[in-house]
Amino acid sequence: MLAAMLRRFRDDESGAVTTDWVVLTAGIVGLGLVAAATVANSTTSAAGSISTDVSKTISAAASSDYSSDATVEEPAPHEMTTAEFLASYEPLATSHRGGSGSDSWVRASYNYTSGMTDAQLLSSYNYNYAQAITGNKAVNADRLAVRERVMKERGIAIPSGNQTASQVRNLYT
């Protein structure tokens, strides 16, 4: 009798579906947590960049006069927009030329530099400036031009006493 009861218990499959659903649900929740952890750092970084941009925009708006008869000012003729800079920059270093399009290196470098924090950007700028000012590090002169472009967009001034990237570029021509 006991043996028959144990066999029936062993062969009984009721409740097995519930166990399957618990295991599947736990797996899906686990995958969701892994995906969330993977995206969390990028999201935090992007949120920080957006916060900085919004703060700058609000500061600029607070200090601007938005009267109804105000006109939109065009950029000064000698200042290039970022799109014009990216389309027209000719790298000095031969390793930065070619690729998929004449501007592929400068666009990739710009995208990389745009992802830097202000502190990283200034540190990278200072390193590239020190290397480029020697007149024999064309790679760093190219990087300096991109770093300076991003600094200008963020409203970060070129350190006092430093030449502009275009002035440094003249050392190579």
Closest by Cα among 132, 152, 31 to 84: 152
Task: In whole angstroms, give the CA distance from residue 101 to residue 73.
Answer: 32
Task: In whole angstroms, give the CA distance from residue 50 to residue 19.
Answer: 45
How do residues 102-116 score in pLDDT, each as one tens digit?
A: 567 788 888 898 899
Task: In whole angstroms, give the CA distance from residue 70 to residue 10.
Answer: 84
Strands (E), 5-141: none
How do residues 47-59 score in pLDDT, each as one tens digit?
A: 777 878 787 777 7
Among 37-51, 108-122, 142-156, which is the least confidently predicted range? Answer: 37-51
Cβ–Cβ under 8 Å, residues 169 and 92: yes
Please calculate the CA angle 140-108-93 and round it to the nearest 5 degrees: 35
Please calculate the CA angle 87-91-96 and round it to the nearest 5 degrees: 105
Query: What pLDDT is attached to residue 57?
Result: 76
User: Is the pTM above the cut of 0.85?
Assistant: no
Average pLDDT over residues 57-82: 60
Contacts of 162 (CB under 8 A, 6+ apart): 129
